[in-house]
A and B are shown apart, each in its own frame.
Chain A
Amino acid sequence: MGVRRLRGRLDGSAGRAGPPTVVLVATALLAGLGLAACGSGSGSGSNALTWYINPDNGSQAKLAAECTAQSNGAYKITTSILPNDASTQREQLLRRLAADDSSTDLMSLDPVFVAEFAQAGFLQQVPEDLKADFTADTVQPAIDASTWKDKLYAAPFWANTQLLWYRKSVAEKAGLDMSKPVTWAQIIAAAKAESKTVGVQANRYEGYTVWINALYAGAGGSMVENPTAKAEQIKLGIAGPAGTAAATVISGLAKSGVGGPSLSTEDEEAARALFQGDTGGFMVNWPYVWSAANEQAKDVVPDIGWTRYPRTEADKTSRPPFGGIELAVGAASKHKDLAFEAAKCITSTKSQIEYMVNSGNPAARNAAYDDAAVRKAFPMADQIRASLATAAPRPITAYYGDVSLAVQDGFHPPSKVDPRTTPEDTQKYLLEVLKGDALL
């Protein structure tokens, strides 16, 4: 009898609850899927383009809307924001691309990732008939960064470079003639003499590689000598005279104490805060700092001067860093033609000028720097253009991610950099990593 009752009850409860549970779970799962589909519903429609953008002040979204309107219904661009720093942007995009996501119609790529993505077959090659369009009047480093194995994979959109910013009062007191090229050694000495600081980017992140690479290029070296080689055959130029020169600057700056109180965690913003503060002396940074200072530190603005990036060695012209954004089309996109159509609109000279004025990010086409509105917003327009023309891109290699991480690791923290051993050790380590014989 107990058995019967047991079964009776179970039929009554569990049995009754059985189907509904399954239904509930299934419904919940379906609801999840359905909602997920709604969440990413931008990919629907035959002319909808998704544009993955790096964060800015909304100027890219504005361009997207304008180009959409201009296309008379040919396509409709929606923007999707990527994270803040370049490495995380790469991670997010890389995973989407590896998942063959068809929503990767347009992507704002940091120039250093074009090679890796192109090599992996993630990017659509630019059609022949658009090549001239995308590269006309464009600064050379931006074209180089968009090219992989002699094929164009992206449209230069904007190009960034760093200047040397200085406080006029400090330079004057130290007796530095800023109208002539200055070296790192000179500004470090000047800052030390005046008890002021030199703002740099030395946190363990991509910005540190930017600085190190510029120092190498300034000494006539390059960190990777045969960028298109396979991992096992890559030749590095990290050790050697250029490495010694670069490491000397870094350790000199760290040891003299002019790098500010938190040199080893300093990024663009920390450098700017330092420069605008009471101990501000010199700083290398992107042009955005000009508009930021005008917004937040008006009293300091009259004291701010700018000139070309400092030299690594006294007898060699400096090679400023190169940054910016290239516009690429995903190989898995279902609307490649439309995407290139949109890229043409987004990277036109007119759009670039508008973007430069709105966002403070410098254009990749030379003509933009003659525009009246640009010159008004950027008193240093000519200096930016001249710097861009001779800027040194970071190594254009498919293994850039590993190169950059290993260099950041090897040279961090700055206070531990030793010109005799650091470049050597970093090179050895990176070679092992590329062969798969070491962790990173």
Chain B
Amino acid sequence: MSTVTEPAPTQAAEPRRARTTDRARQERSLGWKLAGPAFVVMLAVTAYPIANALWLSLFDYRLTDPTNRRFVFLKNYVVILGDPIWWRAVGVTLLITVITVVVELVIGFGLALVMNKALSLIRPVLRTVILIPYAIITVVSAFAWQFAFSNTSGFVNDWFSFLPGISETTDWFGGFWSSLAVICASEIWKTTPFISLLLLAGLAQVPEEMQEAAQVDGATWWQRMYKVTIPNMKAAIMVAVLFRTLDAFRVFDNVFIMTAGAQGTETVSLLAYRQTITRVEIGMGSAVSVLLFLCVVLISFVFVKGFRINLAQARGEG
């Protein structure tokens, strides 16, 4: 995978503002003509609804009680931010995010190393099997894990009954930590491949000669990993972490299928769903949605500013 870094000949290296040439103008209008539709569609399907949600969140509005719609300004936000249920959901969501992202980084790195070194004979095979969890429907993965751990149909209790604390009748979905463990397991299994592929691409960018030079200098495997490999992969690691963090923060499918929020496993997405779809409290639900959106924006901001990830620059978009 080589990158073409030199600008294509048709591109003006520096658009000169002083004298916008005829051609630059044409290119500009054509560029927007071609890219415009996609841009407009993206905005239409996201920006408009979120603005609408912002508006709805200022009302006390219940779908089954349409006549009683009242403007309450920020009251919904005050209620939510003062409610332990919200903070608990945020805590659980962060917990799931941290656990899954950390574990996935470790496992994903291992998978990437193996695939990087794998003999050319088995590499396509590995690439294929690693893609299967990525491509499988999350709901299917959730059911597979749920059935495996259930104490009516699962084999897990049967297989692991030699471990302390696990018996034939262990009820995995009967407690907070055990439910969380299964939810995270399903999440990890499904999304690690994506991380490992990104890391594999990063590994490919580590200059071979640096590795060799380090080896000649007598560096151990760990030292090489720490001094050469990881620093050179920083961009790939950061991108992988950012994508997965945001993805994990929106976790919904697994929790919905496995516990539906019981045992205190309710996540922020599930809370929004419950207010809006189950309780048809449109106002309250919209407020939760807006807050969730703000959380995601905040996380991205922290990453981009804190870790200086500039995706566009990383891709030679300067």
Contacts and interface: CB of A to CB of B under 8 A. Distances in A.
A204 B89 CA distance: 17
A370 interface: no
What DSSP secondary structure best describes chain A's contact surface?
A: helix
A14 B34 contact: yes
B65 A6 contact: no
B308 to A, nearest CB: 37
Interface in A346-364: none
Given A6-B23, A436-B284, A439-B86, A263 B174 contact: yes
B284 A439 contact: yes
Interface stretch (B113-121, B123-131, B208-216, B273-281): B273-281
B10 interface: yes
Interface string B58-77: 00100111100000100100
B63 A98 contact: yes
A436 B26 CA distance: 56
Contact of A265 (B65, B262, B277): B262
Contacts of A98: 63-64, 280
A7 B64 contact: no
What DSSP secondary structure best describes chain B's contact surface?
A: helix
Interface residues of A, number: 37
Contacts, number: 92
A119 B65 CA distance: 8
A401 interface: yes
B281 to A, nearest CB: 8
Interface in B16-35: 22-23, 26-27, 30, 33-34
Interface centre among B66, B83, B174 (most CB of A within 10 A): B174
A43 interface: no
A61 B33 CA distance: 54
B193 to A, nearest CB: 30
A436 B79 contact: yes
Interface string A235-274: 0000000000000000000000000011111000010010
A7 B34 contact: no
B151 A120 contact: no
B171 A262 contact: yes
B79 A438 contact: yes
Contacts of A56: none
A270 B83 CA distance: 34
A122 B280 CA distance: 14
Nearest to B261: A204
Interface in B196-252: none
B277 A91 contact: yes
A275 to B, nearest CB: 13
A322 interface: no
Contacts of B79: 436-439
Contacts of A405: 278-279
Interface of A: 2-3, 6-7, 10, 14, 87, 91, 94-95, 98, 116-117, 119-120, 122, 203-205, 261-265, 270, 273, 398, 401-402, 405, 412-413, 436-440
